[in-house]
Amino acid sequence: MTARRLVVTADDFGAAPEVNAAVVRAHRDGILTSTSLMVTGDAVEEAVQLARETPTLAVGLHLVLAQGRPAAPPAEIPDLVAADGAFRPGPVTTGVRYAFEYLFRAGRAQLRREIEAQLAAFAATGLRLAHLDGHLNMHLHPMVLPILLELAPRYRIRAMRLSREDLGAALRYDRSHFPRKLAEGVVFHALAAYAAPRLRAAGIATADRVCGMHQTGHVDERYLLALLAALPPGVSEVYCHPAEGVAPAMAPYQQGYDHAGELAALTSARVREAVHAAGVELVSYAELAR
């Protein structure tokens, strides 16, 4: 029988001290195996230091192309940023804008400039790049993914989150926010179908399935127990957003998120026992991409 392996990832590492503290606690005292670093986050220096002090925590790059600050000077990427020098907040309108700008040489060059700036900033930390994913899953954008694949050999991108989740299972668990979940399911089914063969051809490791997108902000104990009880063979990833308090930088974009509940779930004795009872092996992408 094929083993069941689970990557447990916290996004937004480096966004705020409240996130950093929760990530380290969830790893040391719970089931968290990985985290994804925002290289322009308000608390990135603290996050990098904590990662160096916690070598068993796998750290990847959380590529930010919306709802955050760029790594490249705004003057060099004027078409990607608003008047204040930050990325625009709306993920859908930003995605459409990138698609339009990619038709022009200047837009492609600016996207490449910013993506490489974030990869270079991660490399400068000296941390091993365990994987790459994107804030709002923007890394799978058809204008972004080809640039990442081009840069993958130079920056040793060996694993990437392929956001494909079983919509039916997500709705059986929780039918609330049905329109949002349906839209996410349709969009990311198409993006995953586009990305999967390209990642495979590039030799970049992915999980067989990714969970947590439709339950974003509410990956609590009940959800994790249900997930573990039904986890199929193969490699799965569940990603979440734990924090020890509301991070001011993220609050406008994460209204209603149960950060404390997610942290409690990751460190729950019931969840740890369920992992053991189900024979699930906790792994990171760093182990999968050796």
**pLDDT, tens digit (0-9, with 9 covering 90-100), for 156-166:** 999 999 998 88
20, 47 Cβ separation under 8 angstroms: yes
> Going by DSSP bridges, is the β-strand pair 209-211/281-283 parallel, antiparallel, or unpaired?
unpaired
Residues 6+ apart with CB under 8 A from 79: 101, 106, 107, 110
pLDDT top residue among 186 and 103 = 186
Which pLDDT score is estimated for 248? Answer: 84
Rounded to whole angstroms, the Cα distance separating 64 from 114 reads 9
Place of tokens 């804030």: 135
pLDDT at 101 over 70: no
Asked if residue 49 has pLDDT above 60, the reply is yes
Q: What is the pLDDT of residue 1?
A: 47
pLDDT band at 107 (very low <50, low <70, confident <90, very high): confident
A 10 A CB-CB count for 28 gives 12
CATH code where residue 31 lies: 3.20.20.370
Q: Which domain holds residue 282?
A: 4-288
Give the Cα separation of 108 and 290 in Å (integer): 32
Asked if residues 165 and 188 have their Cβ atoms less than 8 Å apart, the reply is: yes
Q: What is the pLDDT of residue 25?
A: 98
| Contact yes or no for 111/143 (Cβ under 8 A) | yes
Q: How many whole angstroms separate alpha carbon 81 and alpha carbon 132?
A: 22
* Structure confidence by residue, pLDDT tens digits, 178-192: 898 898 999 999 999
pLDDT computed for residue 238 by the predictor? 98
Give pLDDT, residue 103. 62
Q: What is the mean pLDDT of residues 128-152?
A: 96
Average pLDDT of the chain is 94
Given this model, what pLDDT does residue 104 score?
65
Report the alpha-carbon angle 209-215-221, nearest 5: 95
Instruction: Answer for the pair 168, 189: CB distance below 8 angstroms, yes or no.
Output: no
Q: What global pTM score does this model have?
A: 0.94
Mean pLDDT to the nearest integer, 5-32: 98
| The total number of structural domains that make up the chain | 1
Beta-bridge mates of residue 154:
none
Asked if the model's pLDDT at residue 221 lies above 90, the reply is yes
Token digits of residue 86:
């930050």
Question: What does the pLDDT read at residue 102?
Answer: 62
Say which residues have a Cβ less than 8 Å from residue 263's Cβ, sequence separation at least 6. Answer: 22, 25, 26, 242, 243, 244
